[in-house]
Amino acid sequence: MVATRFGKVNTFAGGVALAGSSLLVLAGMPTLLFDLVLGVILGATAAGQVVSLARRTLAA
C-alpha cells in the first residue's frame, strides 16, 4: 500500500485517540466528547485515504 498524507494523519490521530482516551480514563474523567471528536477526525481521514487510493488506482 502506498503512503498518503491522509493515511499518516489517520495513524497519528489513532495514536492520539488511544493515548488520550486512556489518560482520561485513568484520570477518572469522561471520554465521550473526546472520543466523538477524534472519531469524526478518524472517519474523515479514512475517507480521504480511500479517495486518494482510488484516484491513484484509476490514474494507473
Domain coordinates of the chain in residue numbers?
5-59
Please report the pLDDT score of residue 26 as a whole number: 94
**Cell numbers found for residue 41:** 477526525
Please report the pLDDT score of residue 1 as a whole number: 66
pLDDT tens, 20-35? Answer: 889 999 999 988 898 8
Q: Which residue ranges of the chain lie beneath pLDDT 70?
A: 1
Contact 38, 16 (CB under 8 A): yes
- pTM of the shown model: 0.71
The CA distance from 38 to 16, in Å, is 8
Helix (H, G, I), strand (E, B) or coil at 1: coil
